[in-house]
Amino acid sequence: MTGVMAMAIVVLLICFLFLSMVSCTGNTQTFRVEGTVDGGADSTLTLEALTLDGIQTCSTCKIGKDGSFSFTVERADSILSPDFYRLRLGTQIINFVVDSLEDITVAAPADAFGTRYEIGGNEASKTMKTMALLNIQLQMQLSQLEHADTLSALEKMEAAAQMVKRYKQTLAREYILKDPSSASAYFALFQSVGQQMLYDPESDPTDVQMFAAVATQWDQEYPRATRTEHIRNIAIRGLRNTRQSQPVKIELSGDKVHESGIIDMGFPDINGQERRLSELKDYVVLLDFTSYSLPHSQQRNIDLRTLYQKYHSQGLEIYQVSVDADIHYWKTMCEKLPWVCVHCAEGPNADMLQLYQVTQLPSFFIIAKGSNLEARGEYISDLETTIKSLLK
């Protein structure tokens, strides 16, 4: 009897160890990305993940003498939704998606890596290639238009707007509304032209409907996925922002208004750390409410950078509040900015913007040392002169 019991215990232990091994190795599964880059021998190829927290490097490899390359990538075996990746060779990129654990194959020439490639593995990745080529074609047309000497500046602007509008309508008709549950539909929503986001889910009612259509379908296909929650929140915020409603009366609580007169606020920075406006009381502060998806936003940040580099050492700080719907885009765009960049997830209808009576974006305020609100941007005729006078 003792021997039988001992044998049973041994069998149970073996089963337990086997199950443990299965559970440990089963937490992750792998897929492969492989192929050839003709003429790319010894070049470095990078595999990057397009996550909601930004672009993250997964791995790099040297392309072989015969042009071959291979990556093995881990994914959780509880796959909730498609994952987006890209291959980067120098400045050229190939975007693709992994729906399950299919292997992805790529064949491309090194000198036209991002345009003349062939990709296999799933249809969504092939559709993403078609969108990428349409985007590149649009960029070339816009570049040619910019150098058209026979057109006035106004004519160029109007022609460019029409080109972008047609591209946007094509994406909506052929890739978003045709199959809102697809990975390519999700990808299409976050296309950009240069540094400008194509769709505005914050204030454009038509664009909001595009996001709502995809969010509705993804809710059914991938109800527990993080990306579903992300796009659902964008759609809900956009629907709220574009819905006609009565003005909201906001009561100021004591913890928001300091004796010095500013309305304090605190929002997370790119690392998720709360940064409060009141912490900058020893600086002259340019408080900036903006959205990086706005036209000319990048040029404006270039101008702000010039101002910041000139006067930061003398006591100037910038506290920039973004209301962009796409937090991934916000993180990407503000990653290299030297000042305090925070994100307001409530969007342009946030209480804080109403408290500051912000009626348009961008809007800025000047706050003197000691947290004294000095002036609104629209009342400042010479920004640099005003800042210099407060730094003395």
**Three-state SS letters, the chain:** CHHHHHHHHHHHHHHHHHHHHHHHHCCEEEEEEEEEEECCCCCEEEEEEEECCEEEEEEEEECCCCCEEEEEEEEECCCCCCEEEEEEECCEEEEEEECCCCCEEEEEEHHHCCCCCEEECCHHHHHHHHHHHHHHHHHHHHHHHHCCCCCCHHHHHHHHHHHHHHHHHHHHHHHHCCCCCCHHHHHHHCCEECCEECCCCCCCHHHHHHHHHHHHHHHHHCCCCHHHHHHHHHHHHHHHHHCCCCCCCCCCCCCCECCCCCECCEEECCCCCEEEHHHHCCCEEEEEEECCCCCCHHHHHHHHHHHHHHHHHHCEEEEEEECCCCHHHHHHHHCCCCCEEEECCCCCCCHHHHHCCCCCCCEEEEEECCCEEEEEHHHCCCHHHHHHHHHC
Q: Does 313 map to a domain?
A: yes
Domain boundary among 53, 83, 117: 117
- What's the confidence (pLDDT) of residue 30? 82
Residues 75 and 144 in one domain: no
Cβ atoms of residues 85 and 96 within 8 Å: yes
Q: Does 288 map to a domain?
A: yes
- What's the confidence (pLDDT) of residue 236? 83
Q: Does 23 map to a domain?
A: no
Q: Does 371 map to a domain?
A: yes
Residues 88 and 189 in one domain: no
Domain boundary among 117, 145, 163: 117
Q: What is the CATH number of the domain that holds 353?
A: 3.40.30.10
Structure token pair of residue 14: 């073996």
Q: Does 227 map to a domain?
A: yes
**For tokens 């209301």, what's the residue?**
323
As a whole number of angstroms, the distance between CA 191 and CA 67 comes to 30
Residues 232 and 147 in one domain: yes
| Mean pLDDT value of segment 195-201 | 85
Question: Is pTM, for the whole model, over 0.75?
Answer: no
| Domain of 80, in residue numbers | 29-117
As a whole number of angstroms, the distance between CA 315 and CA 285 comes to 9
The whole-angstrom distance between residue 121's C-alpha and the CA centroid of its chain comes to 25
| Mean pLDDT value of segment 101-130 | 93
Residues 295 and 386 in one domain: yes
Q: Does 68 map to a domain?
A: yes
Average pLDDT over the chain reads 83
- What's the confidence (pLDDT) of residue 20? 37
- pLDDT category at 232 given cuts 50, 70, 90 is confident
More confident residue, 328 or 313: 313
Residues 87 and 170 in one domain: no
Residues 283 and 315 in one domain: yes
Residues 220 and 284 in one domain: no
- pLDDT category at 201 given cuts 50, 70, 90 is confident
| Mean pLDDT value of segment 293-321 | 91
Count of the separate structural domains present in the chain: 3
Structure token pair of residue 194: 């240069």
Is 60 exceeded by the pLDDT of residue 200?
A: yes
CA dihedral 289, 294, 298, 302 (to 10 degrees): -40
- What's the confidence (pLDDT) of residue 88? 96
Q: Does 360 map to a domain?
A: yes
Is 50 exceeded by the pLDDT of residue 251?
A: no
Residues 112 and 153 in one domain: no
- pLDDT category at 3 given cuts 50, 70, 90 is low
Q: Does 109 map to a domain?
A: yes
Residues 273 and 364 in one domain: yes
- What's the confidence (pLDDT) of residue 298? 82
What type of residue sits at position 49? Answer: A
| Mean pLDDT value of segment 210-218 | 88
Beta-bridge partners for 74: 30
- What's the confidence (pLDDT) of residue 380? 76
Q: What is the CATH number of the domain that holds 102?
A: 2.60.40.1120
Tell me the C-alpha to C-alpha distance, in Å, between residue 385 and each of 308, 364, 390. Answer: 14, 15, 9
Residues 236 and 278 in one domain: no
Residues 50 and 90 in one domain: yes
Is 70 exceeded by the pLDDT of residue 253?
A: no
- pLDDT category at 257 given cuts 50, 70, 90 is very low
Domain boundary among 117, 151, 173: 117
Residues 79 and 181 in one domain: no
- What's the confidence (pLDDT) of residue 146? 84
